[in-house]
Amino acid sequence: MASIEISPDEALALRARHAGVLHRPLYRRLMAPLLVVGAAAYFVFCFLFFNVAGVFANAQWERAGIYIADWYSWEATPRFRFAKDGIEVEWTRSLLGDNPNPDWIEGGKDNYVVSFGGADNQVEISPGIVVVVESGRRYDIPISESGAELPPDAPANMSLKGGRVTVDYGFIGLAEIRNTQVLVRHRYLGWPNFFFDTKSPFFGKDLGQLWADASSPERIEARMPNWQLIIVEFLYNSEWQHLDVFMKLLETIVMAFVGTLFAALVAFPLSFVAARNINPHRVGNWLTKRAFDLLRSVDMLIWALFFVRGFGPGPIPGIAAIFFTDTGTLGKTTTEALENVDDRQREGIRSVGASPANVQRYGVVPQVAPVFISQSLYFWESNTRSATIIGAVGAGGIGLKLIEAMRTNQDWENVAYMVLLILVVVFVFDNISNALRSRLIGRSGH
């Protein structure tokens, strides 16, 4: 491409006409690099101020691994307690039935052998000493009143902390050796008691066996047919409590729907009072807008705590918290939509002699209805998630059930179950909300 030469006079004229482009002030030329430097400095400040490095260094990552593993597996946790007359075995939590006798535990009375995948990885438990076999090599761990002692040639998967020696065999489990007992955690994939607990007559049966029981005329319990008993045993599973979880989830959905519905019914007419171009009374405008500001400035969680104190735990505080927060937010957004309507439609309706009410009905409502419906449906979908959070502070719903499972620090599989149910509900309601918005707003545009 050939270059174009201009004279000095033309260059001066060009610079004069486009001085803002060719001669930008120094602060404008430095603005972009200064913003980058400022953002980097801010992130460094936050990193140091919140001690991010220390938080990561002190984090107990092994616990995170255990909790995640509990989401898709379960543990059998026998305790081998040292007693005067031998060793007593105590099952703190087991899905192996009332009288567990797994094939990975051998021996009895004063000597037990716990296998973690074979003879090359096992723990031999005797009073006063425990022998750990790791990859075929034996390690003696003496036990005294002060605790267990770590052997000098201990492998990497063996550690000592607070007088306790922990032998980690990976996913299959671990053994924690103390001065009074040996705690064993033996892990299995899946949730074998998800459908029926160990006390149920259907525990451990496959689909074919369940079908045979359901279709059999011989009743397992005289009070009901077998197919009905299967449903009852599933819903009243003592470990997973399916019926209670489903009812709490339904309670959460109802909280979100009722709270959003009441908020929409109250916020829509009040927004007409707050809009300056609809209501000429400035005092009414100001008071209504300040009421919206008050309601939405207090977080939904704070409203929930307030109402739980006043009404006690249950769904009513949750509905009230959603209602108060959404009334303020929906009122604010709808007021802004009303103050930006096209006045030509109002003037057209007014010119044919319509009453003030009909002017608003036919000249304003069709303009703001799509925005209001879209916002209301979005809040309904969003409140399905928010109702879970406020439920955790006592406002009912599945959030309360979820926080109870977390507090035990042992029921992380139940936590995973409820989280998956919440994800499914949010996914379903998200699609329903999107479909309704598209259909309703599409109709209003025709």
Residue 1 pLDDT exceeds 60: no
Q: What integer pLDDT is reported at residue 320 of this predicted model?
A: 92
Residue 324 pLDDT exceeds 90: yes
Contact status, residue 213 vs residue 205, Cβ threshold 8 Å: yes
Q: What integer pLDDT is reported at residue 41 of this predicted model?
A: 94
pLDDT band at 445 (very low <50, low <70, confident <90, very high): very low
Closest C-alpha to 160, from 187, 138, 142, 136: 142
Q: Of the given ranges (96-100, 125-129, 410-414), which has the lowest mean pLDDT?
A: 96-100
Q: Compute the distance between CA of residue 82 and CA of residue 69 in angstroms, rounded to an integer.
A: 29
Q: What integer pLDDT is reported at residue 446 of this predicted model?
A: 44
pLDDT band at 211 (very low <50, low <70, confident <90, very high): very high
Residue 404 pLDDT exceeds 50: yes
pLDDT digits (tens, 9 = 90+) for 194-207: 898 888 888 888 89
Q: Of the given ranges (66-75, 219-228, 287-296), which has the lowest mean pLDDT?
A: 66-75
Which CATH topology does 242-444 take? MetI-like fold (1.10.3720)
pLDDT band at 313 (very low <50, low <70, confident <90, very high): confident
Q: What integer pLDDT is reported at residue 410 of this predicted model?
A: 67
Q: What are the residue boundaries of the structural domains of the chain, listed by start?
A: 74-189, 242-444
pLDDT band at 444 (very low <50, low <70, confident <90, very high): very low
pLDDT band at 290 (very low <50, low <70, confident <90, very high): very high
pLDDT band at 15 (very low <50, low <70, confident <90, very high): low
